[in-house]
């Protein structure tokens, strides 16, 4: 039975991934930030037979990340992979973005990826196997106007993925990023219906994707051979 750590489990994409992996019989370690009720809803949606351990905390806090990993290893004995789906965004002009908000976005999106990978790497190296999947975005490679900080963190995720994959590949560990396009989640609630429609017009598939489809892709990546590593995999309906 595989055991996976999923961050952002109280959000749309993370919750979808949790449901998919639970349906495959995996044991889950679910992490949310502040929304305990949303995390509880995710757990309840998994069914009575699901084996789940939950945490609430700040993923830019090294002490919290280390405690979560160590407590999970103590309970389950192993962690087979990380799916880092946590993230935040802010819509607005760069000139209106405060340093506090900039640091918060980098902490939640990029520093967290470093801390989680650092905490899990010794366990994966010791076992000579492991999977790290980091959720990026189409904006990591293209950049989005009025989402400068978010785009920068996702570009950082892309480079981090490629670099870390080179370090961990000799130990049989695969590191990949999944870069969705427009996903139908509450995070995109900051966009008006008109703005969403304008974006959808640019997508050859003529629609947004959803958390269930993203979860299907994550499941495929977790099961892929370890030779597939260091890749930023676009999942955007032919958008870019």
Q: Which residues are known catalytic residues?
A: 150
**Residue holding tokens 């974006």?**
199
The terminus-to-terminus CA distance of the chain in angstroms comes to: 37
- DSSP for 111-123? IHHHHHHHHHHHH
Q: What are the start-end ranges of the E strands in the chain?
A: 3-7, 27-32, 52-56, 81-84, 130-135, 173-180, 232-235
Say which residues have a Cβ less than 8 Å from residue 72's Cβ, sequence separation at least 6: 3, 5, 29, 53, 79
| Dist CA 163 CA 46 (whole Å) | 35
Cβ atoms of 154 and 146 closer than 8 Å: no
Task: Give the 3-state secondary structure of residue 61.
Answer: coil
């Amino acid at each position: 039975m595989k055991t996976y750590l999923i961050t952002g489990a109280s959000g749309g994409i993370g919750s979808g991934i949790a449901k998919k992996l639970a349906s495959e019989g995996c044991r889950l370690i679910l992490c949310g930030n502040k929304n305990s009720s949303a995390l509880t809803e995710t757990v309840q949606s998994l069914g009575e037979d699901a084996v789940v351990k939950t945490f609430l905390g700040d993923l830019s806090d090294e002490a919290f990340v280390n405690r979560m990993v160590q407590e999970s290893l103590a309970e389950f004995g192993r962690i087979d992979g990380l799916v880092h789906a946590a993230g935040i965004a802010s819509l607005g002009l760069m000139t209106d973005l405060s340093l506090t908000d900039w640091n918060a976005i980098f902490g939640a999106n990029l520093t967290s990826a470093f801390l989680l990978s650092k905490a899990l790497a010794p366990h994966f190296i010791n076992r000579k196997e492991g999977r790290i999947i980091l959720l990026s975005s189409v904006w990591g490679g293209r950049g989005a106007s009025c989402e400068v900080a978010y785009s920068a963190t996702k570009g950082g995720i892309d480079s981090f993925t490629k670099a870390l994959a080179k370090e961990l590949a000799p130990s049989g560990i695969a590191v990949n990023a999944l870069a969705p396009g427009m996903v139908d989640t509450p995070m995109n609630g900051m966009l008006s219906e008109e703005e969403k429609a304008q974006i959808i017009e640019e997508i050859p598939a003529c629609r947004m994707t959803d958390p269930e489809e993203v979860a299907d892709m994550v499941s495929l990546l977790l099961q892929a051979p370890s030779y597939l590593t260091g890749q930023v995999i676009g999942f955007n309906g032919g958008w870019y």
